[in-house]
Amino acid sequence: MSERLLSVKELKVHFPVAKAGFFTQRQVVHAVDGASFDIPRSKTLGLVGESGSGKTTTGLAILRLVKPTSGQITFDGTALTDLEPEAFRVLRRRMQIVFQDPYSSLDPRSTAGQIVRFPLDIHALGSNAERKERVEDVFSLVGLRPRQMDLFPHQFSGGQRQRISIARALVLQPEFIVCDEPVSALDVAIQAQILNLLTRLRDELNLTLLFISHDLGVISHVCDEVAVMYLGKVVEKAPRYALFKQPLHPYTRALLSAVPARNPELKGTLKRIRLQGDIPSPVNPPSGCRFHTRCPIAQARCQSEEPQLTEQASDHWVACHFPGQDEAAGR
């Protein structure tokens, strides 16, 4: 059995944009533009970056909820991009997702029990009695009472709704779950409860998670490894402690330097790095290094030559021509 459950190689997801006029050229959004990473079994990889960096699209492409433009996605030795729809439908039971917004991801016309049971009905698993028993078991597993199965989503709090979403993802007994910003819509106190629940479920059920977030504090709490995305590409990937202790990419250093002072263990001794400008448009990404338009250490080489993701230390990968340099060594 391979130690690596999921492998993503040079994944690209491009979306054509509607033409502004009859004689204009159709533009393309490079939402994901060559992302690569692996996730070992029973581990959690955190995918972090600014809004628009391609994190959510990467997760959706892995589950084929959006169609990849190119690249290779391998799950437990099976190339997902090559599977026929029926074959993928069978494999889909082993891969689930928890969406960001617990208010819009649940059908308001269905009861909580119906929502959690729906995947069992779709895949025709078990008898009616067995499905009901499985739903009750999963409700208890996520901290809900079985008698709440007859309530509708509006009768639950935000944290309880996210527990329903987690129960729906668990009901098919998957091995891999994409968690797409699962706590960003919740109050801070409730966030901690949901994060502790996900961590416990991962350990008890041997789950493998792709945890998508923009919050480095959340990432530090639940993830074993961290991959940093910028404008559709992974620019740094390392074990959690190595990345927080010694970030090598200037974008990662800027993100960590922005962590509030109440989390000194995350930002270490980094001084505040203020990036200039906004993230460029994914319709027309910069040449060379995608980050060079905002990078405090960019040099002429960065404008023309795209850096490749290379291993700078043990399992610490960086896509930068000048990894580890500070602002004083740049311009």
**pLDDT per position as a tens digit, 250-277:** 999 999 888 775 555 565 556 788 888 7
**pLDDT per position as a tens digit, 16-31:** 887 666 666 778 999 9
Rounded to the nearest 5°, which phi and psi values hold at 231? Answer: 50, 50
pLDDT recorded at residue 1: 47
Using CA atoms, how far apart are residues 48 and 306, in angstroms rounded to an integer?
Answer: 21
pLDDT recorded at residue 131: 96
Q: Exposure of 211 by Cβ count < 10 A (0-12 exposed, 13-18 middle, 19+ buried)?
A: buried
pLDDT recorded at residue 286: 93
Q: pTM score, two decimals?
A: 0.91
The strand pair at 233-239 and 316-318 is best described as antiparallel
**pLDDT per position as a tens digit, 35-91:** 999 999 999 999 999 888 999 999 999 999 999 999 999 999 999 988 888 889 889
Amino acid (one-letter) located at 15: F
331 band by pLDDT with thresholds 50, 70 and 90 = very low
Sorted by where each starts, the structural domains of the chain and their CATH numbers stand as: 4-17+27-94+174-329 (3.40.50.300), 108-168 (no CATH)
